[in-house]
């Protein structure tokens, strides 16, 4: 009974309002133009922010991250020395075995590596991420970083760490049989 009264009231209200709202060209123009103006106000700052996110103009360090089966390789140029022969630093980061982890007596199982990536605090660092064989995903969730490592393609991202610490991550792409054994350790000093 209550439902029927509500339905009759709604239909009667719609019938009475139809003469005032429908086919009113000024009102139809308003409700079509108003969302366009709102989207314009949202799009302006969004495009500016997207441009600033991709701006590589004041990057201090560039680290190239290379995904291999099943470990990570890092290379970056050390521009603090003027010698051109040995300013490229290249190292592999492989997960520690349980025996190595017991001998060190620190670190987390399946998350500790033999060579940690070290970056500086309050310094813009760019990461160029690629792969040599299959799809990988270089992810450090506590730093807010995640990008895919695709063979033949270089994806880039910038980080400006604001707190020192040791940050752990893993490959988050199902890249093969040893996908679970590709940890990432980044030390922010």
Q: Which of 32, 53, 74 is the last residue of a domain?
A: 53
Q: Give how many domains the chain has, as a whole number.
A: 2
Same domain flag for 115 and 41: no
User: What is the chain's pLDDT, residue by residue, as a tens digit (189 residues)?
Assistant: 666 666 666 666 555 555 556 667 787 888 889 999 999 999 989 998 888 777 777 888 889 999 998 899 999 876 555 555 556 789 999 999 888 888 877 778 888 999 999 999 999 888 999 999 999 999 999 898 999 999 999 999 988 899 999 999 999 888 888 888 999 999 999
Q: What is the pLDDT of residues 88-136, one digit of tens each?
A: 789 999 999 888 888 877 778 888 999 999 999 999 888 999 999 999 9
- Asked if 104 and 128 sit in the same domain, the reply is yes
Predicted TM-score (pTM) of the model is: 0.70
Rounded-to-integer distance, Cα 186 and Cα 23, Å: 63
* Residues sharing a CB contact under 8 Å with residue 150, sequence separation 6 or more, in sequence order: 130, 131, 135
For residue 139, the enclosing domain spans 61-188
Q: Where are the alpha helices (DSSP H) in the chain?
A: 2-21, 25-53, 98-104
| Residue 65 and residue 48 share a domain | no
pLDDT tens for each residue of 133-142: 999 999 999 8
Please indicate, yes or no, whether residues 122 and 166 belong to a single structural domain of this protein.
Answer: yes
Cβ distance 83 to 72 under 8 Å? no
Alpha helices by DSSP H, listed for 24-113, are 25-53, 98-104
Q: Let me know: does 67 contact 136? Beta carbons within 8 Å.
A: yes
Position 13 in a domain: no
Give the strand pairing for 183-188 and 165-171. antiparallel
Question: Per the domain annotation, does 18 fall within a domain?
Answer: no
């Amino acid at each position: 009974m209550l439902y029927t009264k509500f339905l009759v009231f709604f239909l009667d209200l719609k019938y009475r309002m139809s003469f005032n709202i429908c086919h009113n060209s000024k009102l139809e123009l308003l409700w079509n133009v108003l969302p366009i103006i709102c989207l314009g106000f949202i799009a302006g700052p969004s495009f500016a922010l997207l441009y600033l996110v991709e701006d590589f103009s004041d990057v201090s360090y560039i680290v190239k991250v290379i995904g291999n089966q099943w470990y990570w390789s890092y290379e970056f140029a050390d521009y603090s020395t003027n010698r051109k022969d040995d300013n490229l630093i290249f190292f592999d980061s492989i997960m520690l075995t349980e025996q190595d982890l017991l001998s060190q007596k620190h670190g987390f199982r399946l998350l500790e590596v033999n060579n940690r990536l070290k970056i500086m605090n309050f310094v813009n660092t760019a990461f160029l991420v690629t792969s040599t064989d299959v799809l990988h995903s270089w992810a450090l969730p506590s730093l807010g970083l995640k990008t895919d490592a695709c063979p033949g393609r270089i994806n880039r991202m910038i980080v400006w760490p604001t707190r020192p610490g040791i940050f752990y991550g893993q490959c988050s792409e199902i890249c093969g049989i040893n996908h679970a054994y590709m940890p990432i350790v980044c030390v922010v000093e």
